[in-house]
Amino acid sequence: MIERRGFGRFAEPARLILVALRDGPRGVVRLFDEIRLLDGPIGPGTLYAAIARLEHLGLIEPATEDDGRRAYRLTGGLT
Amino acid sequence: MSMLIRLYPQAWRDRYETEILDLLAERPGSVRDAVDLVRGAVDAHLHPNVSVVAPEPGPWTHRLPGLLALAAGLMVTFATLSISAGAGPDWGVAGNLLGIAFLLMLVSLPGEYLAPYGRQMALAFSCIVVGVVSASATNWWQPAILMAIGAEVAALSGLLAVAAIRAGVGSGWRWLLVQAGVLGPLAIVAGITALREWTGIALVDVAARTTALFGLPYGLAWLVVGLRMMVRGSATFTDPPDHPAPAPEGQPA
C-alpha cells in the first residue's frame, strides 16, 4: 500500500514505523531509536517525512505520553 | 542543528517543530543528520503532507473591527464620489461622512495591535491634533493649513498602513509603495489647489470635484482592508492580547 502512495524513498521508514507502532503507542524518541535499530542510521528529517506522510494518510495519529510529550499510534483502521 | 528547522515550511513547523526539537535535544545529531534535515526540508516544500486544520471560528465580536473598517471605506468612497459626481460639491454631507469615517478607522484599530503599534497610532492622532489646532489658532493661517494637510495625509497614511498590516494584506515597503500610489497624488493635488487659492498661481487647473476623485483609491483601499479584516477576524479592544508587546530593541523581553 505504501509503495503505491508515493512514499518514494520514505517507504521503508514508513513501513518500519507502522511495524513499530503495531505493539502500541510509541514516544518519538523511542520510535526513532527503534527505527534506527531496524533500518540503520536514518535521520530525523527522514523520520518526520515518513511520519508526516503516514499522518496525512490517516494511518497514524498523535497521542500523548505520560510525561506529556508527543507519541504516535496506529489509527483505528490499522489496529 | 535546531536552526535547520527554520528551513521547513511554516505549516510544517507549526505542526512538528516542538517535537522534533525535543527529539534533537534527546538525540543530538551528526553531520549526516544535519544533511538529512536539509533534505527533509526540501521534501517538505516539494511535498507538503501536513494536513491543514481549519482554525476554529472566533467570536462574532472579532468581525467588528473589519465591519467598522469596511463602513469607513464605504463612507470615504461615497463621499468622494458624491463630491466629484454631484452638480455642486455638497461639502456638508461629504464632510460629515468623512469625519465619521475617520472616527470609524480609529475605532477599528485598537485591540491586539494597540500595544505593538500604539506609538504609531499616537503619532498619527497627534499629527491631526497639531494640524487642526495650528490651523484654527494662528493668524498665520496659510502655512498652518498646509501643515494641517500634511498632518492629515501622514495620519491617514499611518492608519491605512496599520489596518493593512493587521489585516495581513502586506507589510513594510510594499505598503509604503501602495500608499505612495494612493495618497501621493492626493497630497500633490491638494497642494496645487492650496497654492492656487492662496497665491492665484494655477499650475494646473484642478477643480475641487477632480481633487475629490483622488480620495477614491483611499476609500477603496479601506474597503479591501476592511473586507479582509472581517474574513480573518481580529481581536477587539475588549479581548486580552494574545501576545505581549515586543520589547524595544536593545532591551530584554
Cell 516542538 sits on residue = B18
Q: Does the distance separating the beta carbons of A29 and B26 come in below 8 Å? A: yes
Three-class SS string for A39-62?
Answer: HCCCCHHHHHHHHHHHHHCCCEEE
Model confidence pLDDT, tens digit, residues B160-212: 877 777 776 665 566 666 666 666 766 776 676 666 666 666 555 556 666 66
Tell me the C-alpha distance between A61 and B4, whole Å: 25
ipTM: 0.86
Q: What is the pLDDT of residue B62?
A: 77
Q: What is the pLDDT of residue B245?
A: 38
H/E stretch holding B61: none
Q: Does the distance separating the beta carbons of B23 and A29 come in below 8 Å? A: yes
The cell numbers describing B11, all together, are: 505549516
Q: Does the distance separating the beta carbons of A53 and B19 come in below 8 Å? A: no
Which residues lie across from A64 on neighbouring strands?
Answer: A70
Q: Which residues, 6 or more positions from B237, have their beta carbon under 8 angstroms from its beta carbon?
A: B110, B111, B114
Which positions in chain A touch B41 (Cβ < 8 Å)?
45
Q: What is the pLDDT of residue B204?
A: 52
Which of A10, A44, A46 lies at the smallest CB-CB distance from B23?
A44
Q: Work out the minimum CA distance from A69 to partner chain B, whole angstroms.
A: 8
Q: Which residues, 6 or more positions from B9, have their beta carbon under 8 angstroms from its beta carbon?
A: B44, B45, B48, B50
Residue pairs between chains A and B whose CB atoms are closer than 8 Å: 69
More confident: B246 or B28? B28
Model confidence pLDDT, tens digit, residues B22-49: 888 888 878 888 999 999 888 888 877 6
Q: What is the pLDDT of residue B247?
A: 38
Model confidence pLDDT, tens digit, residues B86-114: 655 556 777 788 888 888 887 787 655 55
pTM, to two decimals: 0.48
Given a cut of 80, is residue B4 above it in pLDDT? yes
Report long-range pairs for B32-37 (Cβ below 8 Å, ≥24 apart).
B32/A41, B32/A43, B33/A43, B33/A44, B33/A45, B33/B1, B34/B1, B34/B4, B35/A43, B36/A42, B36/A43, B36/A44, B36/A45, B36/A46, B37/A43, B37/A44, B37/A45, B37/B1, B37/B4, B37/B5, B37/B7
Following DSSP, what letter does each residue of B191-219 receive, concatenated? HHHHHHHHH---SS---HHHHHHTTHHHH
Given a cut of 70, is residue B8 above it in pLDDT? yes
Which residue does chain A place closest to B31, by CA atoms?
Answer: A43
Which residue does chain A place closest to B51, by CA atoms?
Answer: A56
Tell me the C-alpha distance between A52 and A14, whole Å: 10
Tell me the C-alpha distance between B89 and B167, whole Å: 33
Average pLDDT, integer, range B5-13: 85
Q: What is the pLDDT of residue B244?
A: 40
Given a cut of 80, is residue B234 above it in pLDDT? no
H/E stretch holding A26: strand A26-27
Which of A42, A48, A53 lies at the smallest CB-CB distance from B20?
A48
Classify residue A43 by burial, with Cβ atoms within 10 Å: 0-12, 13-18, 19+. Answer: buried
Which residue does chain B place closest to A43, by CA atoms?
Answer: B33
- Each residue's pLDDT, cut to its tens digit, for chain A (79 residues) gives 555 566 777 888 888 898 889 888 889 888 888 888 887 778 899 999 989 988 888 888 888 877 777 889 998 755 5
Model confidence pLDDT, tens digit, residues B114-161: 556 666 667 777 776 776 676 666 666 566 666 666 777 777 777 787
Tell me the C-alpha distance between B94 and B86, whole Å: 11
Tell me the C-alpha distance between B9 and B31, whole Å: 22
Which positions in chain B touch A70 (Cβ < 8 Å)?
18-19, 22
For all residues of chain B together, what is the average pLDDT?
72
Q: Does the distance separating the beta carbons of A41 and B40 come in below 8 Å? A: no
CB A43 within 8 A of CB B36: yes
CB B229 within 8 A of CB B69: yes
Query: What pLDDT band is residue B253 in, cutting at 50, 70 and 90?
Result: very low
CB B37 within 8 A of CB B59: no
How many Cβ atoms from other residues are within 10 Å of residue A77's Cβ?
A: 7
* B105 in A contact zone (CB under 8 Å): no
Tell me the C-alpha distance between B53 and A62, whole Å: 14
